[in-house]
Amino acid sequence: MTLQFGTDGVRGVANVDLSPELVVAFGRAVVRALGSDRRYLVGRDTRRSGTLIEVALSAGICSEGGTVESAGVIPTPGLAYLAQTLDTPAVMISASHNPFPDNGLKLFAAGGRKIPDAAEREIEAGLLAILEHGPGDGVPVAGAVGVATRMSGGTERYVAHLGASIGGRSLDGLRVVLDCGHGAAFEVAPEALRALGATVEVLNAVPDGSNINAGCGSTHPEGVQRAVVELGFDAGLAFDGDADRVVAVDEQGRLIDGDHILAICALDLRDRGLLRRDTVVTTVMANLGFRRAMADRGIRVVETPVGDRSVLAAMETDDAVLGGEQSGHVIFSELATTGDGTLTGIQLLDVLHRTGSRLSELAAVMTVFPQVLRNVRVADRGALDSARGFWAAVEACGSELGDDGRILVRPSGTEPVVRIMVEAAEPGVAAAVAKRLETVLLAELG
């Protein structure tokens, strides 16, 4: 067994897929790829397995001569910020929004950006070699081995950075419910918003190692929706386990997803002359309503495959300052090197505070098209390209929808599943088209 990078690092069941032995070897491979003459920052979310994996990872890094500084529990973007400002590589131990038995490893290069594909392939090859042949000759001994220490002041620096992100303004008078999902933001997010003057009610901020993402946070925002209405607050924010994404809730308890957040912030930046090239980057999953709202206001939309890595690459190519995903993973490139749920929430609340608007009024900038997603389990997703009858049906359905709808088909990267997404002006139409395409696909691929 070995470890392979997916769309967002390495993930698996802790102590099974991510066994201590594998993680030690992984730490060795990381140092061999990125260099031993440097320190490595390590952070983790609140999962019970986090300390087990941190110890194994640190042992692997130290055994190759690297030095480890542990930032403890910290959001992924917080660790990325420290990697940026300290110009050192970092490894985040987290499985993001996955349930607590899972865990994962996310790597950042010195400078705070996720490591490039070439470095991932080098680490995979190095890991395989270590597992097959052992560490080999010439490993550090005695005074050449690395040491592991605890970092002090890391989260405080990150909280200060969050507060500075709105340029000296405050959030005085705003009343906000935070759902921390029992995850990595359970301390820093409330602290940052309170320091900016907001009145904060906090939900799900008592992690016990097993309750991360459990019926709460960005994947289960029902609790924060109820709380905002019951308390009569202005807004709510819900984070995932490592707090690199956020969804919001307006004063009426309605969900404000990543598409809405991108639309609101894009227009605000454009109105203040800060949206370079009047461009925003998003993925193929962005709602048709978002695209129309941007087009109607003269903002160019650059579309990428799913994944924050693709979004960031397009932002760099097009010199864009804003990009993100419907899931709430939003990147403000002049403020962060990766998606940051707490920072994104603060930017959204800053718009709310400056304009004196209600969040529901700001969100009305776009009309959401009903979207139906079907995950169709097939015998061989690799045969999708040759399924001529299915693609003929896709073309026919697309013609029927015209400008009032959209069809997106893509195979899963990890499961024997083909994802069919249909948008249309009417929910019934979207559901009917999705069902029709699912039937044709199953007939061809089984």
Whole-angstrom distance, CA of residue 248 vs CA of residue 344: 10
Closest CA to 88 of 101, 107, 72: 107
The string of DSSP codes covering 175-197 is EEEEE-TTSTTTTHHHHHHHHTT
Whole-angstrom distance, CA of residue 398 vs CA of residue 390: 12
Whole-angstrom distance, CA of residue 105 vs CA of residue 95: 8
Whole-angstrom distance, CA of residue 319 vs CA of residue 420: 31
Neighbour tally for 334: CB within 10 Å: 11
* Residue 330 main-chain phi, psi, to 5 deg: -120, 135
* Cβ proximity of 434 and 424 under 8 Å: no
The CA distances from residue 175 to 63, 228, 231, in Å, are: 49, 9, 9
* Cβ proximity of 39 and 88 under 8 Å: yes
Whole-angstrom distance, CA of residue 81 vs CA of residue 192: 15
Whole-angstrom distance, CA of residue 420 vs CA of residue 433: 10
Hey, is 89 helix, strand or coil? coil
Neighbour tally for 295: CB within 10 Å: 11
Q: How many residues does the chain have?
A: 446
Residue 403's identity, in one-letter code, is: D
The CA distances from residue 286 to 51, 261, 307, 325, 437, in Å, are: 37, 12, 12, 7, 20
Q: Position of tokens 């392939």?
A: 121
Here the tokens at position 286 are 């962005």
Active site residues: 96
Whole-angstrom distance, CA of residue 415 vs CA of residue 106: 21
Neighbour tally for 381: CB within 10 Å: 19
